[in-house]
Amino acid sequence: MIKKTIKSLRRFLFRTLFNLYPPFLGAGIHISRISADYSAFDIRMNLRFYNKNYFGTQFGGSLYSMCDPFFTIILIKNLGSDYIVWDKHASIRFKKPGRSTVRVRFYIPQETILQIKQLADKHGKTEPVFTVDLTDDTNAVIAQVEKTVYVRKKDAVKQNSPSGQ
């Protein structure tokens, strides 16, 4: 019971600190939910005067900012400290103007996380690709983001370095 409460408090603190992170706070990006195992994040961004573009719709840079760290964070939290995880490549495809609150859910199933771990263990590294849709209040897709994440087992770096360190 105490361990569960501590984990829940840590998740609450993590979410609160992220919501206060200046680039998120300034763009109006809000983490509304984090799953207990950190495999899913629900993010929203309300349309406000400070995140509108010239045309009165969601600013594209803010839409991308909503998506920047979350697949990487899911993998870092689930793979642990034996792995190096970095964003490698990203692209955003705008589908229609965002004229209301935008929502996105980042989710990597535990089975996929296990497959990524096994590939990194077997080959030293792997580069999974994830796609996510950003939707408006009517559930219409306003943008699609594709992210490539670099995952490497830390001891694979040591084995491949010239000095062996």
Q: Tens digits of per-residue pLDDT, 65-110?
A: 999 999 999 999 999 999 999 999 999 999 999 999 999 999 999 9
Higher pLDDT, 98 or 155: 98
Q: Round to whole Å and give the CA distance between 154 and 79.
A: 11
User: What is the tally of structural domains in the chain?
Assistant: 1
Residue 165 resides in a domain: no
Residue 131 and residue 69 in contact, taking contact as beta carbons nearer than 8 Å: no
CATH number at residue 48: 3.10.129.10
Token representation of residue 42:
């629900």
What pTM was estimated for this model as a whole? 0.90
pLDDT tens digit sequence for 10-45: 999 999 999 999 999 999 999 999 999 999 999 999
- Has residue 114 been placed in a domain? yes
Q: Per-residue pLDDT for 5 more than 90?
A: no
Residue 131 lies in a domain: yes
Side chain identity at residue 3, one-letter code: K
